[in-house]
């Protein structure tokens, strides 16, 4: 009979460690493969008169107190229910060839703000 200790010694001897599984999402888009190939082509071959950017938008960010760690005599407390002290929208793009990051904060976000942001 093999014991758990024996199995652990074999794994340790071969430098095999217990690790958490990674999670990722795959697309169910039937054109995913061709889009992925086009993306790689643009990344590797910059268009003559164009930019290649990776664009993302963050949903509304609310401004309020968040808990965390701090040095103090008493345990810091953050109320579960809070009034929101403000909110903003955030757009961000990464220029693949220039290695630059562009971002802008907005009070509100519509297609107009997104289009304005992408004309940089």
The verdict on residue 27 lying in a domain is no
Instruction: Give pLDDT, residue 70.
Output: 66
Instruction: Give pLDDT, residue 71.
Output: 67
What are the residues whose beta carbons fall under 8 Å from the beta carbon of 42, sequence distance 6 or more?
A: 52, 96
| pLDDT tens-place string over residues 64-99 | 777 777 666 777 777 777 777 788 888 888 888 888
What are the residues whose beta carbons fall under 8 Å from the beta carbon of 100, sequence distance 6 or more?
A: 94
* Residues of the chain where predicted confidence (pLDDT) is lower than 70: 70-72, 120
Given a contact cutoff of 8 angstroms between Cβ atoms, the answer to whether 91 and 57 are in contact is yes
| Predicted model pTM | 0.51
The verdict on residue 95 lying in a domain is yes
Domain that holds residue 98: 50-120
The verdict on residue 10 lying in a domain is no
Alpha helices by DSSP H, the chain: 4-13, 32-44, 111-118
Instruction: Give pLDDT, residue 83.
Output: 77
The verdict on residue 34 lying in a domain is no
The verdict on residue 57 lying in a domain is yes
Dihedral sign (CA 34, 37, 41, 42)? positive
Instruction: Give pLDDT, residue 72.
Output: 65
Instruction: Give pLDDT, residue 119.
Output: 82
Structural domain count, the chain: 1
3 state SS of 54: strand
């Amino acid at each position: 009979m093999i014991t758990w200790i024996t199995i652990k010694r074999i794994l340790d001897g071969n430098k095999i460690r217990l690790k958490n599984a990674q999670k990722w999402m795959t697309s169910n888009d039937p054109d995913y493969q061709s889009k992925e190939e086009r993306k790689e082509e643009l990344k590797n071959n910059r268009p003559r008169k164009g930019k290649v950017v990776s664009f993302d938008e963050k949903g509304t960010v609310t401004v309020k107190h968040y808990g965390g760690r701090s040095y103090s005599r008493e345990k810091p407390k953050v109320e579960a229910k809070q009034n929101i002290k403000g909110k903003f929208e955030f757009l961000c793009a990464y220029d693949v060839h220039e290695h630059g990051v562009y971002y802008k904060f907005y009070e509100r976000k519509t297609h107009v703000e997104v289009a304005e942001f992408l004309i940089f």
